[in-house]
Structure 1
Amino acid sequence: MPTPTGVGTDELRRANLRAILQTVHTRGPTTRAVLTRQLGLNRSTIGALTGELQSLGLVSEETSAVGGRSGRPSHLVVPREDNVVVAVDVGVDRIAVALVGLGGEVLDRRDRRHQRGEHDVAHVVDAVAQMVEDILAGAGHRVRCLGVGVAVPGAVRAADGFVRFAPNLGWVEEPFTDLLAARLDRPVATGNDADLGALAEHVRGVAIGYSEAVYLSASVGIGGGFLMAGRPLAGARGYAGEVGHMQVDSQGPVCRCGAVGCWETKVGENVLLRLAGRLPGGGPPAIAEVIEAARAGEQRAADAVAEVAEWCGVGLRGIVNLFDPEIVVLGGCLAQVWKAAEATVNEAMARSTMMPRDDVLIRAAQFGVDSPLIGAAELAFAPVLDHPQAVPNAS
């Protein structure tokens, strides 16, 4: 890595520590030789830097022959999994909590179902705090907790995690992050679930290596997370990505936001269930049942899947024309419908997409419904990855 002009020795050392830790966190155990080539530093400097990360308790070193060959052993720099974060996904019908080690491995997981609808923020804070405390208690004194990351289905202020609007939870102007941090007495970072889904797929999923990526997921509503030039597109106040409320049908139904013909009135879970003659609120299992019924020849189910797939393609067409991504990653109901009716989605996209359809990859999210949960872990790790020397001593 070239030395930036005007950067002092201490700043350069911190930048190199950050680069090494981020590399082993995202790529796993890495040899000193690879780090030397990647960062453009000599072996003694890499040795000193990895030694400092060892003294901070963030990595360990193992010695082994490369590929089992005899000769000079390789020094492998390994992220220490006893440095953990707790990731939380506050979904519309469940709370998921995961204990994630440095390096990205999920070490433990807990899920709690709840009814869809409005939820008092204090009750959610209590439930999340109890689940976080339980999962940490299960790990005992073997771990050092670096923080808590939370995904919320709503507009979250980037600066402080203040939840401005989460309609599927019934929240308006709620200090959820501050309440949870006070209850846990730990650092808590909160982000929009779609933004964190995009982060997860970019760092560890199907969007690795793509700098222009879009992540879209649908359940009751539709959320979008965008990466432009490899960086999250947050907007002026951190609320970018509300693609569910772009108009796709000027003659369509009135949305809960008050506008007419929003995309989520055409492709949400409950839309598909209603068109197929099913009761609302069944979530992914109910969507899967409709798709199976369509494949088995049930005409109403087949018509429902085809109609939602058509509108899925219409919305994707607008997003592709506007953002020109290399890859679009689909989660939730969108992924289920795309897998079932890919040709219909593609045909609707192709009608007025400015670039050839083959130039845009469409993929289902690698982590399925857990993309926001994995992204929440990355959000919680971010402060230590950015400033390894600031790692806390307490668990």
Structure 2
Amino acid sequence: MMSATARPSAMAGDLDPSRRNNLALISSLVHHHGVISRAELTKRTGLNRSTVGTLVGQLVALGLVYESAPSGEGQVGRPSPDVRPDPSTAALAVNPEVDAVTIGLVSLGGKVQKKIRFATERIPTAKEAVNIAAAVIAGMRSELDASYRITGIGMAVPGLVNRADGVVRHAPHLGWRDEAVASMMSEATGYPCLADNDASLGAEAELIFGAGAGRGNLVYLNGGASGIGGGIIADGALLRGSTGYAGELGHTFVRTGGRPCHCGATGCLETEVSQSPLFELAGLEGGDAGQLEEALRAKDSPELAAEVSRQLGFLGITLRNAVNTFNPDTIVLDGFLGVLHSLSPGTLEGLLRTQALGGAADKAKIHRAALGSDLMMIGAAELAFARFLADPAGIRELRVPASKNR
């Protein structure tokens, strides 16, 4: 039986920088694609077949990937084996909101294995959110220890978060200021933790696994109980700004003489576009975007039609500004914003055609988030996967789950 600290293979020993970089490249491609053939890995990396074979062998020995029989679809000649991420390596994800704390278990390949939504009777403090998540994780501990190697915890927080130190500078809807949530979570659970803005993580997740896959320039907007957040992908990379807080599209100015916003300004997008009136019209006291959409589709009233039209009008102003400023090829709408779009298909496209600059508007295509309710879990988990994707051999430092012991 291999001990918890033993190295899986001699091949997992010290690597030169070039081999380490190639190993990271292969592991990232497998993680992001879910399944990819050796032949495709060779094509995408530019490495020769024998080198790719050796690198895949190392990742197999490290327990990060496994090979399966080739599908052979669309291939000429001898089909190449498929390489898949091993689900025993996983990350934990935490997403605090004003009405709940959601905890997820996400395996390599971006697959959500488990998700638990813990509803709260009031807005949780940072300490309460951490304690809730830590208690849920403690309840999962026997399963985690037996079947998974956990790379860490990623937190997706609706507010201004410094990714470098995991401190929430300001989360207005949660009422958090200068809360060191990452270190608090690490202390409470024993796992390393990183935190970032939820919409930024959502944008990256959609770029890798969802509607933005294969695209380089993307605008992402998420609408939920904690307001509206945004993320901008420019030439394949998240636009962070000088202090890391770029993309706050929920605070785009959309109405003169509008209502005061949590941020201190007036007329922000999230003061005019909100899920609260939609829940009220749907006759719901709460729930997720799927429940909201189902309830709204069952309604047929002039009041609902007027509210959807009103909110889409203000959302259109923000999208017009985003298209003119960032010239994206893809716009992704998540949460209740995706519901609004689906209730009146073509409305936002029409507003862009008539209000945005022609060349930019013609290029931008609007999509609903492809990852659905799993998006925040997948985005948060990417934080925890990042260190091991950069240096896959470092996985040997983690405890080997009992089911993987030899």
- Settle same-fold status: TM greater than 0.5: yes
Note the C-alpha offset of 1:240.
1.1
CA contact (8 A) 1:32 1:75 kept: yes
Query: Deviation digits for residues 238-259 of structure 1, max 9, x if unmatched?
Result: 1111111121112222223221
* Superposition RMSD in Å: 2.5
Matches within 5 A, 1:303-382: 303-356=306-359, 357-382=361-386
Could you say if the C-alpha distance between residues 277 and 259 of structure 1 is closer, same or farther in structure 2, counting changes exceeding 3 Å?
farther
Could you say if the C-alpha distance between residues 52 and 359 of structure 1 is closer, same or farther in structure 2, counting changes exceeding 3 Å?
same
Note the C-alpha offset of 1:381.
0.8
Quick one: which amino acid aligns to residue 380 of structure 1? A
Write the distance in 2 (CA, Å) between the matches of 1:150 and 1:364.
23
CA contact (8 A) 2:282 2:296 kept: no
Write the distance in 1 (CA, Å) between the matches of 2:298 and 2:337.
16
User: Which structure exhibits the higher relative contact order, with contacts defined as CA atoms closer than 8 Å and separated by 6 or more residues?
Assistant: 2
Work out whether 1:394 is the aligned partner of 2:376. no
1:34 maps to 40
Note the C-alpha offset of 1:25.
0.8
1:203 maps to 208
Taking structure 1 as the reference length, the TM-score comes to 0.89
2:52 maps to 46
CA contact (8 A) 2:282 2:292 kept: no
Could you say if the C-alpha distance between residues 345 and 36 of structure 1 is closer, same or farther in structure 2, counting changes exceeding 3 Å?
closer
Write the distance in 1 (CA, Å) between the matches of 2:70 and 2:324.
50
Write the distance in 2 (CA, Å) between the matches of 1:40 and 1:94.
46
CA contact (8 A) 2:282 2:295 kept: no
Quick one: which amino acid aligns to residue 100 of structure 1? V
Note the C-alpha offset of 1:307.
0.9
Taking structure 2 as the reference length, the TM-score comes to 0.87
CA contact (8 A) 1:88 1:96 kept: yes
1:137 maps to 142
2:295 maps to 289
Could you say if the C-alpha distance between residues 57 and 279 of structure 1 is closer, same or farther in structure 2, counting changes exceeding 3 Å?
closer
| Structure 2: stretches of 5+ with no match in the other structure | 1-14, 401-406
Secondary structure at the residue paired with 1:24?
Answer: helix
Could you say if the C-alpha distance between residues 101 and 369 of structure 1 is closer, same or farther in structure 2, counting changes exceeding 3 Å?
closer
| Structure 1: stretches of 5+ with no match in the other structure | 1-8
Query: Deviation digits for residues 28-77 of structure 1, max 9, x if unmatched?
Result: 23332222222222222222222222232222334557359999574333
Could you say if the C-alpha distance between residues 364 and 259 of structure 1 is closer, same or farther in structure 2, counting changes exceeding 3 Å?
same
Write the distance in 2 (CA, Å) between the matches of 1:311 and 1:273.
18
CA contact (8 A) 1:189 1:379 kept: yes
Note the C-alpha offset of 1:330.
0.1
- Percent of counterpart pairs with the same letter? 37
Query: Deviation digits for residues 91-141 of structure 1, max 9, x if unmatched?
Result: 2322222222212222222221123x5322221111101112323423442
Quick one: which amino acid aligns to residue 269 of structure 2? W
Quick one: which amino acid aligns to residue 393 of structure 2? Q
1:114 maps to 120
CA contact (8 A) 2:95 2:157 kept: yes
